[in-house]
Amino acid sequence: MLKNFVMPDLYPAAPELFLVAMACAILLADAFAGASRRWLAPVLTMLTLIGCALITYATFDGTATLTFANMFVDDPLSDFLKLLLYVAIIVVLVYGRDYLAARNLDKGEYYLLLLFATLGMMVMISAYNFLTMYLGLELLSLSLYAMVAIDRDSPRATEAAMKYFVLGALASGLLLYGMSMIYGATGTLELGRVAQTIHEGTTNRTILVFGLVFLVAGVAFKLGVVPFHMWIPDVYHGAPTAVTLLISSAPKLAAFAMALRLLVSGLFGLAEHWQSMLMLMAVLSIGIGNLAAIAQTNIKRMLGYSAISHMGFMLLALMSGVAGAEVDPMALINAYSSALYYIISYVLMSLGAFGMVLLLSRGGYEADNLEDFKGLNKRSPWFALMMAILMFSMAGIPFFVGFFAKFSVLLAAVAAGHVAVVVLAVIFSLIGAYYYLRVVKLMYFDDPVDAASIRAGLDMRLLISLNGLAVALFGLFPDSLMMLCTATLVRSL
Amino acid sequence: MDLKTIIFYVFAALLIFAALRVITARNPVHAALYLVLAFFNAGGLWLTLQAEFLAITLVMVYVGAVMVLFLFVIMMLDIDIKRLRQGFWRNMPLAATLGVLMVAEMALVLSTDYFGPVAFPGTKMGADYSNTRELGRLLFTDYVYPFELASIILLVAIIAAVVLTLRRRKDVKHLDPVQQVAVKHSDRLRVLQMPAEKEGE
């Protein structure tokens, strides 16, 4: 019956398999552990992530391997992004622990959903087929919807989860519709073969472009760029801050991988079409994100709008890969590695900023208003300095990592000949600097509203300091990370 | 007209009759039972197309699970059929227009070159061919990765449903049989040593 069956190579997918096995083990362990052993789930989750990182590192071989009937790809890009993903999730675990414990949300299910969300992101990062990409996305989204609503007695969290769920389902529908159109035109779901079929030029381009519009809309929703950004402020605001920290960081890495694989690995033949769509969305995101953030009084909402503008910058880099008719490999790699660099620096800054919000909240009290940052310098000069570094970096002030990220993106865009777009982006960034610097002003020049000292575990203090210093150090020495990004992409694309 | 055609017409006629009765039956339980009949006939039609897996799944999932649940719900609820039928004729024109539109759309799609009998002439397979086995082979070999991912998504749905709805309520008085059985006499009776307030009465 199974004469021609060849066992798929499981070696490239070892981290995913390990994570699934551990998640099932944690599910059972937590169910039988009882209330006295609640520490079991977080500790096992941490060990699982460390184990995944070790496996990913050990199985790294610098070449692209396809397995599971060409549905799964293991290349340097996926290994690199997965390692960053584990780091982000570990940081999320450490930052969120006290906050969740104070609100009685640190149930075993939280850690399980976190692990399954991680699995979803890993699947997205390694997807080489429309089907697995969609399934990874759904795995991630479903876990996130439940995590947003995990504080079920909070009406705001429930409302946010409901909005996220309905809009997310709509976006998944758009994405699937686009995928089905492209499948109809090319007759395959595999990204490599889609690219080949488009390259041969025998397919109906009208149907392809029609599908592409829906595909780009779906990806744009997941990245949260204008005009598909409406969910971002409400979900960032409504979700428990520990979950906001997760939503704002790791999924952006996965969404970046999804955008890169879909648009560059799969639909590169349609670059002239998707570039103009991305350009429009990038300019609108940078504009609306920065302008709307000025009006916010809640820091979670403000960082939400700032996320929109940051994703706009990332799109700006993605659309700068091809200039004109001929494809210049150097410019291509430059543009995509600046996009990768941007997304990494954004994740680093976003983790730090939401980590600071978590650091200031205590007990049942949420420190999510700008007011709460007033006079932080008097309460804790060290953490005020960390927050100032993060805000300077987000604003794109020189010699922090955010500056080099913006700079390399703008260079790539100028090289591709989009000077007008670059000018617009710079103007809006300058406007945006206002609301980042306002936080710094509140911390250093205003008197504190409450003078309570900052209480946090040693691990959190250490990690948040490390996070802030990393933002400063990568800003002083940006070359090593940039070279790593370039090398990864050269060996993957 | 061969036997297969006759069987097709019998199933199709019964299907249309049952479907009509679903929307015209006065008693909701009858309507649900007619829907069961409609599913059985649709399953029969699939069998004549050699799609036995779809036929089995339709009967198992829809008749065996969904409709039984449906019947339970209908029997639990006290449905006022008169209220439900209010406005039937007022909404009729809209419903009829939508129905006609859908039929027209399906006719258009099926008459193009992409779909319809021309594009899919239907392949005749031998008697030893089982599409259940073929589907199983594909799902557990080439598509094993997405198949397992789909199962993990279902697991996440279960976990999410539990975490969002399971509530151990403290304000409800209930007895825990385990504690009841394990009770000792010392739990029921407490002997207190109290100093006497007043000597000899």
Task: Kindly report the pTM of this predicted structure.
Answer: 0.89
Per the CB < 8 A criterion, the answer to whether A340 and A485 are in contact is: yes
**Mean per-residue pLDDT for A27-43?**
86
Structure confidence at residue A324 (pLDDT): 63
Q: Rounded to whole angstroms, how far apart are CA atoms A208 and A188?
A: 13
Residue A231: is its pLDDT beyond 90? yes
B145–A132 C-beta distance less than 8 A: yes
Q: Rounded to whole angstroms, how far apart are CA atoms B85 and A378?
A: 71
Residue A1: is its pLDDT beyond 60? no
Per the CB < 8 A criterion, the answer to whether A324 and A293 are in contact is: no
Structure confidence at residue A323 (pLDDT): 66
A184: nearest CA in chain B?
A: B114
Q: Whole-number mean pLDDT of chain A?
A: 91
Q: Considering only CA atoms, which of A128, A142, A367 is closest in space to residue A261? A: A128
Q: Rounded to whole angstroms, how far apart are CA atoms A403 and A395?
A: 8
Point out the residue among B144, B153, B163 whose CB comes nearest to the CB of A107. Answer: B163
B152–A20 C-beta distance less than 8 A: yes
Lowest model confidence (mean pLDDT) among A68-77, A348-357, A393-402, B160-169: B160-169
* A&B contacts, CB < 8 Å: 68
Runs of H (alpha helix) within A149-239: 155-186, 191-200, 205-223, 231-238
Q: How far apart are the first and last CA of chain A?
A: 38
B160: nearest CA in chain A?
A: A146
**Token pair 């209330």 in the structure block, residue:** A35
Q: What is the 3-state secondary structure (H, E, C) of chain B?
A: CCHHHHHHHHHHHHHHHHHHHHHHCCCHHHHHHHHHHHHHHHHHHHHHCCCHHHHHHHHHHHHHHHHHHHHHHHHHCCCCHHHHHCCHHHHHHHHHHHHHHHHHHHHHHHCCCCCHHHHCCCCCCCCCCCHHHHHHHHHHCCCHHHHHHHHHHHHHHHHHHHHHHCCCCCCCCCCCHHHHHCCCHHHHCCCCCCCCCCCCC
Q: Considering only CA atoms, which of A325, A296, A250 is closest in space to residue A432? A: A296
Tell me the percentage of chain B whose pLDDT exceeds 90. 41
Shortest alpha-carbon distance between residue B159 and chain A (Å) = 7
**Mean per-residue pLDDT for B98-103?**
95
A153 Cβ contact partners less than 8 Å away, ≥ 6 residues apart: none
Residue A107: is its pLDDT beyond 90? no
Q: Rounded to whole angstroms, how far apart are CA atoms A246 and A358?
A: 12
In chain B, what residues touch A72 (CB-CB under 8 Å)? 145
A116–B155 C-beta distance less than 8 A: yes
Q: Rounded to whole angstroms, how far apart are CA atoms A366 and A354?
A: 12
Point out the residue among B114, B145, B160 whose CB comes nearest to the CB of A142. Answer: B160
Residue A73: is its pLDDT beyond 80? yes
A138–B153 C-beta distance less than 8 A: yes
In chain B, what residues touch A1 (CB-CB under 8 Å)? 133, 137
Q: Is B69 on the interface with A (CB under 8 A)?
A: no
Tell me the percentage of chain A whose pLDDT exceeds 90. 71
Point out the residue among B142, B150, B164 whose CB comes nearest to the CB of A146. Answer: B164
A71–B163 C-beta distance less than 8 A: no
A131–B156 C-beta distance less than 8 A: no
Q: What is the pLDDT of residues A319-353, one digit of tens each?
A: 988 766 667 888 889 999 999 999 999 999 999 99
Q: Rounded to whole angstroms, how far apart are CA atoms A340 and A256?
A: 8
B159–A113 C-beta distance less than 8 A: yes
Q: Which fold has domain B1-80?
A: Four Helix Bundle (Hemerythrin (Met), subunit A) (1.20.120)
Cis peptide before A227 (omega within 30 of 0): yes
Structure confidence at residue B200 (pLDDT): 58
B133–A20 C-beta distance less than 8 A: no
What are the tokens at A334?
């430059």
Q: Which residues 103-132 of B are in CB contact (within 8 Å) with A?
A: 114
Query: What letter does residue A452 receive in the DSSP assignment?
Result: P
- The domain limits of chain B are 1-80
Point out the residue among A1, A107, A131 whose CB comes nearest to the CB of B146. Answer: A131
B163–A150 C-beta distance less than 8 A: yes
